[in-house]
Amino acid sequence: MMQGFRISRGVMALGAAALGIAALGTGGEAVAAASGPFLSHQALYDLRLLKSRTNSINSARGRILYSFSGNSCEGYTSDFRQVSELDSGEGKITLSDLRSSSWEDAAGKSYRFKIDARMNNSDASPVDGMAERDGDHIKVKLKQPVAKTFTLDGSVVFPTEQIQRIIAAAKQGKSVLELTVYDGSDNGEKVYNTLSVIGQAIPPDRTIASPDPSTTDERMKSMTRWPVTVSYYDRDSQNKEGEQTPMYAMSFELFENGVSRSLVLDYNDFVIAGALGKFDVRDTKPCN
């Protein structure tokens, strides 16, 4: 979103991708059946500075509030807000407020999104658009920041499809997954190459060093989870410069029902940790 303040871009991806839930666009029903039901829920994450590699950030704090609902008939909706404060020293405080809402078709064919980002006292920077999969390409129509229509390659996936593929790969015992992802962030035109590294499954009965509301909830105690790290690369920069350094990476433990815990957002210069402070399970409307 904002150059020099990558936490907003990263948290947008966190909300849309790391916590997103959907079925695969191709063969989605089979994968959804293999993965089992997904949980409608609301989660609150507390953010703090984990480390600063260049001493560019003295402290950081904030919160993420994330809500997810839907089913495989009506699609999946997520609402997300992140407020964070970065202190770079000498009284330089940067306050960001990021809000987003999205809906994704369970078959990965349609994606609608609205994103509103503010920094300090600046005006909002809204992004509003939709993307439709049509054969071997995806047609994107933006309303904001400027009205524009363009196409993407059909191999590109939307963010909730991305997380579904990670879960499917984890269940198949795969350790690496490469995907190209479009989530509508930045100016609505950026596409990211991603590399997901999936660790060994964590069984439900393993002792947890730092429990949180997700691990103590009775409905979660039977769920397998996996440690996952997703690195995001600017596709255009790679094509032009051959750059291989990720813009940022995020690590988390991903449950088989789509819930994420133990978040770590790595922006190269500094690293933010997100602890799950509150977790509420919501009723899921049955799919008729």
98, 101, 100, 109: which is closest to 158 by C-alpha?
109
Strand partners, 62: 47, 84
Contact 255, 220 (CB under 8 A): yes
**Angle subtended at Cα 152 by Cα 18 and Cα 133, rounded to the nearest 5 degrees:** 75
Q: What is the CA radius of gyration of the chain?
A: 18
259, 214, 205: which is closest to 36 by C-alpha?
259
Query: What is the C-alpha to C-alpha distance for residues 197 and 178, in angstroms, rounded to an integer?
Result: 9
More confident residue, 37 or 47: 47
Q: Where are the beta strands (DSSP E) in 88-199?
A: 93-104, 110-119, 127-134, 137-144, 148-153, 176-181, 192-198
Average pLDDT over residues 167-196: 93
Residue 238 — pLDDT band, cuts 50, 70, 90? low
Q: Which residues have a Cβ under 8 Å from the Cβ of 134 and sit 6 or more positions away?
A: none
pTM for this model (two decimals): 0.83
Residue 180 has pLDDT above 50, yes or no: yes
Query: Residue 160's pLDDT is what?
Result: 82
More confident residue, 107 or 243: 107
More confident residue, 227 or 282: 227
| Strand, helix or coil for residue 170 | helix
Query: What is the C-alpha to C-alpha distance for residues 130 and 114, in angstroms, rounded to an integer?
Result: 9
Strand partners, 197: 176, 229
Q: Return the DSSP state at 259.
A: -
Query: Residue 225's pLDDT is what?
Result: 95
